[in-house]
Amino acid sequence: MNRIFKLTVTAIVFCCALATAQTPDTKNFSKDNLSFDYPGAWQFQDSSNQDAQQFTLAKAESDVQIRIFVHRGRISQEKFADAKKAFIAPYVAATAKQFEAMGAKPEQTPDSSEIGGVKAEGVNISASLGGEAGAAKIYWAIVGQRVVVLTLFGPDKQIKQLAPIWDLVRNSLKVMDPKATASPRPSP
């Protein structure tokens, strides 16, 4: 009887720990074979078009933004270099020019991360604006045969404070294979 009591108490404590680890305000976006989690309190802007799914997440009273770009076309690893030239390199260059337009002198360093469990190449564009250090961290990878580009913008202090949110978005991002998610057709 004592053993059953201890197991019951342990199970209750474990369930309580799980419940407190999950945030009740986390939302899940799921559309067109793309899904990811994000904080419900954050502003969510969808600027998708027929070429790509594009979203911006921003927190009120913060300068941090997370941008998600997922090209709708399927791509092989062999064609990934072409995608880098076509739209990733110009995006990185345009981001650096934004810093320059604000009067900063951006510095680029190679970086890496993971997006949805997939190794991602990246670049860290750092600069000082008005005496405050900030960055644009841009990462790209093929996830589920689609090009994904994630960007984290903001002042360094706020980026560090909101690192768990960044981790939530990038780690939860998934691109499902449309063939695998297609519903079976009934046979006649």
Strand order in the sheet with 34-39: 26-31, 34-39, 174-175
* % of the chain with per-residue pLDDT over 90: 76
- 102-155 pLDDT, tens digit per residue, is 889 999 999 999 999 999 999 999 999 888 999 999 999 999 999 999 999 999
Where would I find the H helices in the chain? 2-21, 80-83, 89-101, 156-161, 163-172, 178-181
Neighbours of 45 (CB within 10 A): 11
- 64-96 pLDDT, tens digit per residue, is 999 999 999 999 999 999 999 999 999 999 999
40 Cβ contact partners less than 8 Å away, ≥ 6 residues apart: 25, 26, 27
- 31-65 pLDDT, tens digit per residue, is 999 999 999 999 999 999 999 999 999 998 999 99
CATH topology of domain 43-177: Jelly Rolls (2.60.120)
- With beta carbons less than 8 A apart as the criterion, state whether 45 and 56 touch: yes
Question: In the numeric block, which tokens belong to residue 137?
Answer: 């961290």
* Burial of 111 from C-beta contacts in 10 A (0-12 / 13-18 / 19+): middle
Bigger pLDDT: 84 or 18? Answer: 84
- Tell me the pTM: 0.81
Neighbours of 52 (CB within 10 A): 18
